[in-house]
Amino acid sequence: MTAAPNPLLAIRSLRAAYGKIEALKGVDVEINAGEIVALIGANGAGKSTLMMTIFGKPRARSGQILYEGRDITGVPTHEIAHLRIAQSPEGRRIFPRMSVAENLQMGADATGCTDAEREATLQRVFTLFPRLKERYAQRGGTLSGGEQQMLAIGRALMSRPRLLLLDEPSLGLAPLIARQIFDAIRTLNRQDGLTVLIVEQNANHALKLAHRGYVMVNGLITLAGTGAELLQRPEIRAAYLEGGRHG
């Protein structure tokens, strides 16, 4: 597989640790503009750490994170959003006491967009997730798991990202709701040109959705390829698909 000359995000030899626990042991990942890239792997492989390291927590011990060719390794977390990188973290982390409207508003704060841009983005979020429009005044904490996931993604979209990082968007959701979430991600990619890095334990869904994928084992990338290629690999099928709880 030949890499594009100028990936939107390039992660080079990245290492990160929690004290003595080395979670990333020299990771290389590239994401081209307009791609959906899936990162799959078992519990504890380091997938969430990779996403969080892009946002500076934990800090990279060594290696580089290049965004549009610029080295953003060590850039403070609050400055990353200004680079139009947004994340929807594992566990959703919406504000349970705030309304859906206020949660979405929080996503748009500090982005410096105009009122018109904010309103257009809000309408886009409602088109993707009509449920959020219906629940506009409801407190975030009273939404169903699937609705909270929609809200978490909607909030990330309100910052008008070019690159969206999604950590386990289907975690704990019923298959039908998970499908709606994956459909929305595909639509955002195809219609809005959004570039997406998605971490998923549901390898089957993720690799069908993604243009390319990486497999992470114990802090290292062990396989890379197109989604279709990885779905055919016997070792992927054995480890993550056939007979597995995520197939």
Residues of span 121-150 touching ligand ATP by CB under 6 A: none
Q: Contact letters (x/-) for ligand ATP, 67-106, by CB under 6 A?
A: -----------------------x----------------
Contact 214, 237 (CB under 8 A): no
Residues of span 212-231 touching ligand ATP by CB under 6 A: none
Number of residues that bind ligand ATP (CB under 6 A): 13
* The token pair that represents 225 in the structure block: 């390829």
* The token pair that represents 137 in the structure block: 């005044």
What's the rounded Cα separation, in Å, for the pair 161 and 194?
A: 8
What CA dihedral angle connects 95, 197, 168 and 143, to 10 degrees? 30
Under rule CB under 6 A, residue 45 binds ligand ATP: yes
Under rule CB under 6 A, residue 47 binds ligand ATP: yes
What's the rounded Cα separation, in Å, for the pair 7 and 211?
A: 14
Provide the minimum distance between the beta carbon of 90 and ligand ATP in the complex, in angstroms, as a whole number: 6
Helix (H, G, I), strand (E, B) or coil at 26: strand
Rg (CA), the chain: 17
Selected binder of ligand ATP within 5, 43, 112, 116 (CB under 6 A): 43
Stretch that binds ligand ATP, among 2-10, 36-44, 143-151, 224-232 (CB under 6 A): 36-44
Under rule CB under 6 A, residue 236 binds ligand ATP: no
Stretch that binds ligand ATP, among 2-10, 47-55, 95-103, 225-233 (CB under 6 A): 47-55
Nearer to ligand ATP, 41 or 161 (CB): 41
Question: Where along the sequence are the contacts to ligand ATP (CB under 6 A)?
Answer: 18, 21, 23, 41, 43-49, 90, 201
